[in-house]
Structure 1
């Protein structure tokens, strides 16, 4: 009979379990899939000589996460690697916007696009240097983040106050236009903003683009040596050394509630697992409240609000084993771990507009990962383990391209969409297709089958738009890991602060569970790690 049961062994579930185990609780983690990791896994499924990440690959938010930093995962064997350059956004005329590891090199590259743009980037980075650490603490702290917010407010006043707040509220297109004369800085900001499901014209997209760009400038976009699964392996190793138990292939069918309190779970196999103190759910909010907890235990308002819950974009991904480097027309893109493939900011706007209309984009914005460039252990020397993903609507109404894709995602539609992504890459790297040794297609339905939190390929467990963030995440009036059921905590990216591999939702849930059990000393200890 463990003190806590954690549903799901994704990164947030493993972080939560680690914190509880460190605080002295007995913890049992139940994972439906045959292996742990959620969306942090790797394999050799494309080609036996190539390591491919199944879902996520680059971890800038892990690099700045105060939770993961204090776990000392290096002691569990985790090592990080970086590509020579962080992000590239090539243009078909051979120019390339480049986010370099060193700020002065980024500045020099942007200055080549337009005089003064290097200084503009340096000014933005200076702002990050003043407020970035406190901003991250505020983002990764349970809502409301009182102490970090007070420190951040003081820094904001010193950095320009209302003018800085206005800058971060801007759509990323407007932010780029205000700050830069040339295309380079605009492309870096807008491309990084499109890592989430926000259009270049959406309010707040500027803040997201700035955050991702500045994190990339200060910490890079690191990858685990040997594959994404190495990060999961380190978290599992730490948990097991602390006495935690992980059971894979154990699907939780329901949360047991007695007298308004969660007292355990029941598995799909009929086993009852009693939790003496808490149940933590690394699941999506709709699954927790519509499938795992009986409706009678939940307020009607919550259930009605869930009808308005918005998923982020669906995702379509292709993995490749390449016989050689990608032949980018813009040669500088060859050294970047992450490459943004789109025809400028207008191409990004067109892409987001098509998705907003329910259309499958005809020229999809492709996030492209060059994994061997970032970590030479991923494939034989002279080759490249690569992937690309793009977004499609959750509910497809039509196809802006010629293939009549409907969202059935049968074999024909999967092949057509994969070919479309390859054609987009080919526009910027003629000859790319001649270097494909093998490929694997991961359609939205495939992604969900491998990780139920990725609803139809939604990688952020709910939209990152402002109307579903902070006190609105996952529904209005929440923003914290506590649920209407005592002893039950939402520990997934469906809770504040949302998606990305940083562990904050899991850490927030664990600390809430410790605090509500009156373990102040242990809570204080847990907050230090």
Structure 2
């Protein structure tokens, strides 16, 4: 008999497995793919000397989340490299918003809107740990009154345009668009505040050597505490795991139905079948001969660039995609990791990471769309491209079964599906099946490389299945 089996080696599955193993349980982890990591994998796509992140690339939550704070990435040999500018947003050919790591410098750059940006962000930066803990919580515990009071008026204020000039508004719209949903929205506002303030707190870093090092560090810790890992090991039926006292599934709701749908009560099954999946991501990786030739030279210092134009243009593009249509001028997210981590490639061979939002299951090869959007603000970019690879939204699910129709959030990030994620239950991690838990981004706090869904689910397993109320050192 094994104490616990985890299915899926994304950051949440690995986080759950690490916590359970450190608590002294016997743990097995099964991963369907040949490589560990789920959405935290890297590959050498075109050249042995160049590392590309094939899904997630920039990790503000990996340094800020309570799980990774307790895990201590630095103690496990992971160096997080922070660019001078967390993210930039070209509004047009003459105006660009820049979120420097330094809040003062950001406010100075924003000119007449600098004071408003400071009033919005400075209190969140001052209380960043508490704010992050609250927004990455399990939605089942009352927050401490201080940080909680900071958020509602700010989230509501973001539904309107707070600023006089377009740069600050565009900066926040680009961050809100990470939700891949309708804008403006309360969920988008919360995302903008969480990720936006982290730019000036713990930053938007990239891991030295590629995102894969995050998964590798977690896997090494799991093995060091007796855990066993099985790759190329697809679980298709819950009965395969009958030898485990507890089962934790790092899968989307559809994956839970595939594995255990025949055994769950009809009401829970119907609720899972009603879960909505959001728009897809169409991914493009470029190998380039030189850094992107941005017209605004400061963008060469930014780890992340949002291309979407004004606040109104970002909202229009996202809402068009939510409605099931391709946007004529879509939102594009670009990462240039060698700005902070020169080890990723060579001076004449550099990785560029990008995706754009498209309707669910869209088969679009987005190479030309993304290239054109970048070239608007970086003329000549196309001349630097040595190689490229596109993964349409319709094919992302083959890479990771949690990405249904290309939805990298494992379920649409709407207000209802945030408050009841994935279905209305007091403990959303527990399923009606005895000893079976869900621990993916389809549970609170939602998508992202933070490990918190795994942490919350593992805590519930320790308490309910094994009567252990004390957490291992680091998370107590």
Q: What band does the TM-score fall into relative to the shorter chain?
A: over 0.9
Report the Cα offset of residue 479 of structure 1: 5.1
Instruction: Provide the TM-score with structure 1 as the length reference.
Output: 0.86
d(CA) in 1 for partners of 2:77, 2:190:
34
* 1:361-510 equivalence runs, <5 A: 361-381=327-347, 383-394=349-360, 407=362, 409=363, 413-414=364-365, 417-470=366-419, 472-478=420-426, 480-510=428-458
The equivalent of 1:401 in structure 2 is none
Q: By how many angstroms is 1:309 displaced?
A: 0.8
1:239-254 aligned at under 5 Å gives the runs 239-254=222-237
CA distance in structure 1 between the partners assigned to 2:216 and 2:348 by the alignment: 28
**Match of 2:137?**
141
Q: Distance in 2 between matches of 1:237 and 1:156?
A: 36
Residues 130 and 332 (structure 1), Cα distance of their counterparts in 2 relative to 1, 3 Å cut: closer
Taking the TM superposition and a 5 Å limit, the aligned residue runs for 1:20-99 are: 20-99=20-99
After TM superposition, the structure 1 stretch with the greater mean CA deviation from structure 2, 305-314 or 185-194, is: 305-314
Please give the residue correspondences for 1:320-339 in structure 2 after superposition, counting only pairs within 5 Å: 320-339=286-305
Deviates more, 1:85-94 or 1:62-71: 85-94
Partner residue, 2:462: 514
Q: Determine if contact 1:169/1:207 at 8 Å carries over to the other structure.
A: no
Matched, 1:281 2:277: no
Deviates more, 1:506-515 or 1:43-52: 43-52
Counterparts of 1:122-201 in structure 2, within 5 Å, are 122-129=118-125, 131-146=127-142, 149=143, 151=144, 153-157=145-149, 165-170=152-157, 172=158, 174=160, 177-178=161-162, 180-201=163-184
- Displacement of 1:155 in angstroms is 4.4
Query: 2:325 aligned to 355, 359, 380, which one?
Result: 359
- Supply the distance in 2 between the matched residues of 1:274 and 1:473 (Cα, whole angstroms): 28
Aligned CA distance change for structure 1 residues 16 and 361 (closer, same or farther; 3 Å):
same
CA shift, 1:156, in A, is 4.5
TM-score when normalising by structure 2: 0.95
Distance 1:488 1:8 in 2: 14
Query: Residue 263 of structure 1 corresponds to which residue in structure 2?
Result: none
Shift of 1:329: 1.4
Matches within 5 A, 1:214-293: 214-256=197-239, 266=240, 274-275=243-244, 277-288=245-256, 290-293=257-260
TM-superposed CA distance for 1:195, in Å, is: 0.9
How far has the Cα of 1:154 moved from its partner? 4.0
Q: Secondary structure at the match of 1:387?
A: strand
1:312-333: per-residue Cα shift (whole Å, max 9, x none)?
Answer: 2111010011101111112211
Between the two proteins, the alignment pairs up a number of residues equal to 476
Residues 224 and 183 from structure 1, CA distance in 2 versus in 1: closer, same or farther, beyond 3 angstroms? same
Q: The residue matched to 1:195 in structure 2 has which SS?
A: helix
Distance in 2, matches of 1:365 and 1:520, equals 46
The answer for the alignment partner of 2:275 in structure 1 is: 309
Q: Helix, strand or coil: the match of 1:389?
A: strand
SS in 2 for 1:338: strand
SS of the residue aligned with 1:143? coil
SS in 2 for 1:460: coil
Q: CA RMSD, aligned part only? A: 1.8
1:79 Cα offset (Å) = 1.0
Structure number with bigger Rg = 1
Shift of 1:184: 1.6
Match in the other structure for 1:6: 6
Separation in 2 of the partners of 1:85 and 1:129? 16
Q: Which runs of 5+ in 2 are unaligned?
A: none
